[in-house]
């Protein structure tokens, strides 16, 4: 079943990062195995002594996927604005994964700068995909500003801790029924992604969980399957939980030895 | 006069354009592939390199694609 990010129609619900893989070749194979149609990447100062960035960029280009550049490393709205403009020129896309970090320890997004930045970028014609915490009000404010896509974290970037606060994530889904919600960051295992999809999230963005697996290609496939399973589970309509046991086998016609004498 | 490119100090002539500095920097193979430029933390579009004249103390950042999550 198709879905869309800012009018871009997609069939796959996994957005994948391009960092931390053992090699560019493994990155390419894992991304292909994931079936993802969107790949994240970034910009940094070029170091003349190493051209690893150029090599990974060539591999990413060959994949031919929709690019989602991020603003990793930015701490203020001004820094974000400059980097976003640079990204738009290089990657020829209005899409920007808005990251503005407020704390170095857990890389938690700065909500004040995030809102300021989203407003500024939208005014300049960017299509903003903000990475934020699972704070409902921040998510609401971002949506009200014009972010059609909201990307709350599952847990801090790279921790692999999974969904720290399922209640918050479910509440965001319930309160923002029309927003495109993508769970971003902190996902460790395929079941984390599956749970998010069962909640009704539209997609999942991850990187470390695949790149740092012993076998990134196999893990990419596992995530693709988990996301598909969770998505189908949500669409199928999950049965409500019940407090008491209910026999699943009909009691009518049970064997004679169960009959009361 | 002195300017910095990616936090490295360089000496250049007066009244030189950003375009000229970037050409020189490229010839020395410091730039490879795609890049974008910020001058004193403000983005400069490619079309503006030639008309941007540098001043002493200017800070140029040349950014290129890398992997990201």
- Say what percent of chain A tops pLDDT 90: 89
Residue A223 has pLDDT above 70, yes or no: yes
Residue A39 has pLDDT above 90, yes or no: yes
CATH of domain A17-236: 3.20.20.70
Which region holds residue A186: left if phi is over 0, alpha if psi is between -120 and 50, else beta?
A: left
Interface pTM, i.e. ipTM: 0.93
Residue A29 known to be catalytic:
no
pLDDT score, position A50: 61
Using a CB-CB cut-off of 8 Å, the residues of chain A touching B68 are: 17-19, 40-42, 69-70, 72
Range A169-179 average pLDDT = 98
- Say what percent of chain A tops pLDDT 70: 94
Chain segment A177-193, per-residue pLDDT in tens: 999 999 999 999 999 99
Least-confidence region, from A47-51, A237-241, B2-6? A47-51
pLDDT score, position A257: 67
User: Is the CB of residue A77 less than 8 Å from the CB of residue A120?
Assistant: yes
HEC string of chain A?
Answer: CCEEECCEEECCCEEEECCCCCCHHHHHHHHHHHCCCEEEEEEEECCCCCCHHHHHHHHHHHHCCEEEEECCCCCCHHHHHHHHHHHHHHHCCCEEEECCEEECCCCEECHHHHHHHHHHHHHCCCEEEEEECCCHHHHHHHHHHCCCEEEECCCCCCCCCCCCCHHHHHHHHHHCCCCEEEEECCCCCHHHHHHHHHCCCCEEEECHHHHCCCCHHHHHHHHHHHHHHHHHHHHHCCCCCCCCCCCCCCCCCCCHHHCCC
pLDDT score, position A18: 97
Range A120-145 average pLDDT = 98
Q: Name the average pLDDT for chain A.
A: 94
Binned at pLDDT 50, 70 and 90, residue A48 comes out as low
Which positions of A make up the binding site? 158, 185-186, 207-208
Residue A49 has pLDDT above 70, yes or no: no
Using a CB-CB cut-off of 8 Å, the residues of chain B touching A210 are: none
CATH 3.10.20.30 fits B2-63, yes or no: yes
pLDDT score, position A45: 86
Would the CB atoms of A83 and B62 count as touching at under 8 Å? no
Residue A241 has pLDDT above 60, yes or no: yes
Residue B48 has pLDDT above 70, yes or no: yes
Residue A52 has pLDDT above 70, yes or no: no
Would the CB atoms of B38 and A86 count as touching at under 8 Å? yes
């Amino acid at each position: 079943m198709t879905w869309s990010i800012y009018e871009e129609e997609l069939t796959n619900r996994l957005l994948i990062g391009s960092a931390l893989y053992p090699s560019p070749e493994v990155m390419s194979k894992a991304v292909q195995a994931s079936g993802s149609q969107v790949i994240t990447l970034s910009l940094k100062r070029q170091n003349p002594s190493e051209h690893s960035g150029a090599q990974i960029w060539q591999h990413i280009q060959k994949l031919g996927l929709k690019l989602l550049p991020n603003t990793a490393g930015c701490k203020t709205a001004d820094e974000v604005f400059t980097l976003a403009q640079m990204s738009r020129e290089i990657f020829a896309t209005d899409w920007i994964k808005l990251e503005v970090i407020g704390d170095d320890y857990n890389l938690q997004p700065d909500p004040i700068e995030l809102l300021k930045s989203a407003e500024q970028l939208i005014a300049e014609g960017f299509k903003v995909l903000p990475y934020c915490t699972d704070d409902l009000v921040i998510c609401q404010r971002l949506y009200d500003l014009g972010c059609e896509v909201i990307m709350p974290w599952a847990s801090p970037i790279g921790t692999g801790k999974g969904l720290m606060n399922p209640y918050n994530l479910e509440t965001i889904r319930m309160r923002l029924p029309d927003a495109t919600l993508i769970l971003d960051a902190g996902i460790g295992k395929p079941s984390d992604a599956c749970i998010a999809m069962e909640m009704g999230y539209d997609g999942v963005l991850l990187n470390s969980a695949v790149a740092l697996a012993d076998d990134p290609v196999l893990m990419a496939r596992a995530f693709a399957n988990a996301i598909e399973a969770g998505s189908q589970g949500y669409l199928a309509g999950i049965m409500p939980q019940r407090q008491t046991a209910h026999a699943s086998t009909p009691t009518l016609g049970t064997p004679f030895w169960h009959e009361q004498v | 006069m002195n300017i910095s490119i990616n936090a490295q100090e360089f000496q250049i002539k007066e009244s030189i354009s950003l375009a000229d500095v970037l050409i020189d920097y490229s010839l020395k193979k410091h730039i490879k592939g795609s890049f974008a430029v910020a001058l004193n933390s403000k983005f400069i579009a490619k079309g503006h390199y030639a008309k941007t004249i540098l001043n002493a103390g200017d800070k140029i950042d040349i950014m290129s694609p890398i992997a990201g999550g």
